[in-house]
Structure 1
């Protein structure tokens, strides 16, 4: 806090919170605090239009960062000098610009991040590490200038957060930035890293340096993500939100003590330069929207390999790991290469020449499972055996974090307002890769394994089990920070929704539609509406896609169909009168019973090998279906004792329906959704009924839930 006040004084401003913040100099509005999924597609020329591949750069670069930073591994500080060049894409002059100071989320318990943690009585990932004295973090602005003139700055609260939250700052520029013009802002800053608490920080000599520099917000223009006028999209650092920024170029020089292994976003430029016991590593990367790095003097020699595929450059891969997790290095490399191959094949070529994977050391797991462009953190285990939970967790974390390189990195959606476009879609695509691999979750750590109960589920089955289905409170398209049921459903329910939509559309058509989405929106910033339009157009199934998005993306409707009743009764001759030979004859009572018995004996004699449930009289089978949620197209299969079956469709929007057949054999069972298309369904146990009670399915699913319950809770929102 003292450094922040000193920075304010240096710029001739009152200490933060001591005076009202004046209006911005140009009147450009901020994105609304509760902004969420966009319903109107972006304009065709949004973000400079679709990238065709003939442009000189992969993205329409808006920013250019030149940063020189020095790490003090004893004080755990990063001292930096930043030259930020920003281009005004709008048609109006800009006088006030907004930047994120994300590290101030860890400045005190009065930040938006910790206030939300306290009020919601929940932690971050592993339950939230308590920040002890001397372990807080912050970012202090020491000097801010434009063309040599001092820049006044003010902390602002776009989401109406706590007054002492300092994660968003406004710079009031001495010189306006004309439409189409650029300006350069020079900033000296000091970042105090916290003890690793959420995605970043230090533990011992390990430093994961993310969200560490002043980062400009996004000026959205009319036709982009629902904007109708220029607006700054610059939200506070919430407990469960992540990030959103413009594409540009990063030229970063990192100076660390000799003996430290460094990994970072982008490509190393030549050999590191040593001077006076310090070593400077120079990294450059274009067409990205963030930069992160790591430094540790305990790292083992990195594992290195290369990969290439159709349309992709030769990719240099590094896995940086601590000695205690040496067993994880090679499996992590394999999972990374498998991910490169799969995402490149099913979405589009990987466009960068590097990929750096960092396995944090023991006791720094809060830094695991986090993504940045060309750089992500994975998970580490002292022992990794095939077919075990450790193997699954290592693979799933690597695959998931790599996948973010596409959905968060290249597609660059707004993770504050529309997190499903990254977290949810990535969870779904991860499930597709694991499905193609045939990889299951082996819950061998469960105590039930000792007595022979070792459930094995697919990734989609795990997502289904963890997704709220009976009473979903939050639409997947809701923003990241204003959710009754927390962040987990963004991952699990979105993946389940997309699984069901794929089942409706067809695997190949759905993949082709996602390829089109990627082609249109790579190196831009798509909205939920843009995803909807790409899938609707490319699949040729607009009605299905639009209905699904309306019910399950913009809302969260329950799906709950069930077989309410099945009966199968012999159609016996009935008492009454009938005409025979011109006379009316009454038939009933004992005579009718004797006739029925005689027909049965005669039929049985003629059919000695007949199966139970067959006889001389037909059976009337009736199946009643009930619905307690949104309509989905259902398939009902009824099986009969003679081995035959009936398959019918239930496509109507109604609360119940009754099907009936008269057939030679008694029914055995009735089953809804036999192909398991509808994972959103509240319970699969009531999708089928038999005439004779059969408790085996319920017992099996109960065992599976018991064994995986703790596993699910540990997985939700950890990556």
Structure 2
């Protein structure tokens, strides 16, 4: 139901960062080192970008028991949490995340956003506005928190964060175990949004549960920030501590559970037939259905009243998520990464069967193989894709979309959208589940890096995979054209970004692809990118660690690129301003081809123009003895000349001036006879420096591309001229023919009418020794007079 209402407009924008070093100049800005923009290296994080000798990080282990109440849509849990203080600091409290409070009308982060009335209003929005006037009953109910002996612990809830006060200070090297009992009402994801919740299927009366960000869990305590306890607003995702998990989920007996980690009791929860299929899947060449479509359809109609408990274990993970539904078909296929078996699995309802049964598990296998090639070998035993009409990632499990029409058909857009989201979400196992960046602060470090490797993986899936913006430079041009008040630097906090998709996903992914294909080359880039993944696997990297590692491992100074693409908002708009053509003239006369004579006087003594205070005080200081006063052997002609002890010669003399050039020999003339020379003037109209890529079209129809590094702009960031020599006459020029630099205005990239060539002379340069006197010197004339010349 929609209501017709009056409309009011809103306008909003932000200003980009100005990080110029010398803003009044046309140089000294874009190629300066990042310097103090990056944090100072220390014992924990080195200047090379690698973890330092005293790098540390905390650990947290969980033993969780929970029960899913499908009838009342409620989850009840208890957890034993063991926190290890590996830091050099003494802690008096711990911070935990309560992400489920996002759904509460009273405990959410209260990050409000401006709004306006649309012409048509969904009646459900009115219900939500009314609901948020009171407590809607969602969010965590913390029943109790106790230490290992059962003594109550004091705690404070601040919106989506909870501080637990320790009964005694937790010193370096110590651990602390405590227990939390909690419950919450599970939210309808389609009504309330969020990462976890349920989807209800009214046609068969069943639910599909995605249980994510569902238990109170430790925040990261780090060397660079202390506690990362920024509120959870739903956009910036999370920063979490690695640890080991044991989780027991009690669910309706006919539900199928997919989860982070490996199941410890399949033999107890699966039927003998299903267990046999799972065993068969361990060595299969094609996906094996452990739960078939017919079995899933039957379960939808015969809802069990009993319960089963599934037990899962996961080591060295930063989070834990799971899914539960009787609607699931489940298939599996092994993949091998450096001889290690990884069980690739998919869970999906009948609504997605026509797509997921054909593509999902094979896409999972392709993804972990491709990402392993570009980063590190996939370290976990399982990788799973769950069709849940959304897209979100957790260790070893992710939730994706992709459903067929009622007749089982689907569009091309649906197919490739599904493949893209599966690759993207499975890829998140690497960024940030393993290379564990802070998503709440720097979304680009997980979304951008992951989108980049997603692009590489899609390209390896099918050479005609329809890429939608995450990689090719041309695809981001429309975003780069936006007015400055609609742009933010990539290096912005995730909560404050207006264009979140382009800023956190597309622009960083595009920048990395530009580095790989255009600026560094694949060999240097791939080595450095793998080194970053290797260094920071299972650790907590920051942006400076990435920037420094990419430079350290490649030997490329990329500060200009980080400065422009990541810290700035200026676009690339390079232009050809003019072209001048030249051709050699073998018979042209040379300037200064002959030796000549000049009339000169000898030089006066090189006395300092002003007798400064230092010279005066040095003369007055009785403790100072000048070396030439102590050692008279140092008194040469010019020592005497400076003191008037040698007379000043005022005579004018003829001095021979030898030619600096001489006619070229026939070999040199022949060398340039067939060459064409071009002076091309370029301008940087957009402000972002980029390599100059020139495509030459010759009069015979052939083409050639020259690539000039971005450093050509370092002495003048606005205008530069470059001379080119070609073997054939040029008909036209074009900048960036393959659209590699995200140039926002291609109308100034072409030069179609070449000027007639000007003639120039060919000569050879005479070489003269460096540091040797030329002309006439006072000493020379003084010696001539002594000898009677």
TM-score, normalised via structure 2 length: 0.65
Counterparts of 1:562 and 1:176 in 2: how far apart (Å)? Answer: 64
Of 745, 749, 765, 1:683 maps to 745
Matched, 1:511 2:511: no
Contact 1:435 1:458 in 2 (8 A): no
CA shift in 2, pair 1:326/1:537, >3 Å? same
Query: 1:421 Cα shift?
Result: 1.2
Counterparts of 1:457 and 1:81 in 2: how far apart (Å)? Answer: 44
Matched, 1:410 2:434: yes
Of 729, 736, 742, 1:673 maps to 736
Moved more, 239-248 or 552-561: 552-561
Instruction: Give the corresponding residue for 1:634.
Output: 692
Matched, 1:552 2:556: no
Matched, 1:397 2:421: yes
Contact 1:332 1:395 in 2 (8 A): yes
Matched, 1:74 2:67: no
SS in 2 for 1:420: helix
SS in 2 for 1:150: coil
CA shift in 2, pair 1:185/1:238, >3 Å? same
CA shift in 2, pair 1:122/1:154, >3 Å? farther
CA shift in 2, pair 1:62/1:325, >3 Å? same
For structure 2, list consecutive stretches of 5 or more residues without a partner in the other structure: 1-36, 201-206, 270-303, 585-674, 755-789
Counterparts of 1:176 and 1:661 in 2: how far apart (Å)? Answer: 70
Counterparts of 1:252 and 1:96 in 2: how far apart (Å)? Answer: 25
SS in 2 for 1:242: coil
Instruction: Give the corresponding residue for 1:304.
Output: 332
Matched, 1:490 2:504: yes
Instruction: Give the corresponding residue for 2:349.
Output: 322
Query: 1:356 Cα shift?
Result: 1.9
In the TM superposition, what are the counterparts of 1:29-68 in structure 2 within 5 Å? 39-41=39-41, 43=43, 62-68=59-65
Counterparts of 1:415 and 1:45 in 2: how far apart (Å)? Answer: 19
Of 211, 214, 219, 1:212 maps to 214
Query: 1:112 Cα shift?
Result: 2.8
* CA RMSD of superposed structures (Å): 3.8
Count of aligned pairs between the two proteins: 561
SS in 2 for 1:406: coil
Contact 1:70 1:80 in 2 (8 A): yes
Counterparts of 2:526 and 2:90 in 1: how far apart (Å)? Answer: 43
CA shift in 2, pair 1:377/1:686, >3 Å? farther
Counterparts of 2:567 and 2:678 in 1: how far apart (Å)? Answer: 40
Moved more, 482-491 or 404-413: 482-491
Query: 1:463 Cα shift?
Result: 4.7
Of 404, 407, 410, 1:382 maps to 404
**Cα shift readout 1:189-247 (whole Å, capped 9, x = no counterpart):** 002221111222112211111111111111113xxxx34xxx21111112421111110
Query: 1:689 Cα shift?
Result: 4.0
Instruction: Give the corresponding residue for 1:709.
Output: none
Query: 1:682 Cα shift?
Result: 2.1
Contact 2:384 2:426 in 1 (8 A): no
**Cα shift readout 1:147-180 (whole Å, capped 9, x = no counterpart):** 3221222233xxxxxxxxx101111222322221
In the TM superposition, what are the counterparts of 1:85-164 in structure 2 within 5 Å? 85-108=82-105, 111-112=108-109, 115-116=111-112, 118-119=113-114, 130=125, 132=128, 137-146=138-147, 147-156=149-158
**Cα shift readout 1:18-61 (whole Å, capped 9, x = no counterpart):** xxxxxxxxxxxxxxxxxxx9644564579xx9899xxxxxx977
SS in 1 for 2:433: helix
Query: 1:457 Cα shift?
Result: 8.3
**Cα shift readout 1:654-700 (whole Å, capped 9, x = no counterpart):** 32345678999985321112344323x223454234349xxxxxxxx
Query: 1:381 Cα shift?
Result: 2.4
Counterparts of 1:687 and 1:459 in 2: how far apart (Å)? Answer: 22
Instruction: Give the corresponding residue for 1:17.
Output: none
CA shift in 2, pair 1:538/1:636, >3 Å? same
Counterparts of 1:401 and 1:505 in 2: how far apart (Å)? Answer: 28
Query: 1:499 Cα shift?
Result: 1.4
Query: 1:262 Cα shift?
Result: 0.9
Instruction: Give the corresponding residue for 2:372.
Output: 344
Counterparts of 1:380 and 1:645 in 2: how far apart (Å)? Answer: 44
Query: 1:370 Cα shift?
Result: 0.5
CA shift in 2, pair 1:121/1:333, >3 Å? farther
Query: 1:87 Cα shift?
Result: 1.1
Greater Rg, structure 1 or structure 2?
2
Counterparts of 1:178 and 1:419 in 2: how far apart (Å)? Answer: 32
**Cα shift readout 1:430-486 (whole Å, capped 9, x = no counterpart):** 11122334444559xxxxxxxxxxxx9885257524643554632222221122433
Of 369, 381, 399, 1:353 maps to 381
Counterparts of 1:92 and 1:278 in 2: how far apart (Å)? Answer: 45
Counterparts of 1:395 and 1:511 in 2: how far apart (Å)? Answer: 24
Query: 1:555 Cα shift?
Result: 3.1
CA shift in 2, pair 1:482/1:244, >3 Å? same
In the TM superposition, what are the counterparts of 1:450-469 in structure 2 within 5 Å? 460=472, 463-465=475-477, 467-469=479-481
Counterparts of 1:323 and 1:81 in 2: how far apart (Å)? Answer: 33
TM-score, normalised via structure 1 length: 0.71
Instruction: Give the corresponding residue for 1:697.
Output: none
SS in 2 for 1:408: coil
CA shift in 2, pair 1:281/1:654, >3 Å? same
CA shift in 2, pair 1:209/1:665, >3 Å? closer
Of 245, 265, 272, 1:270 maps to 265
Query: 1:84 Cα shift?
Result: 0.6
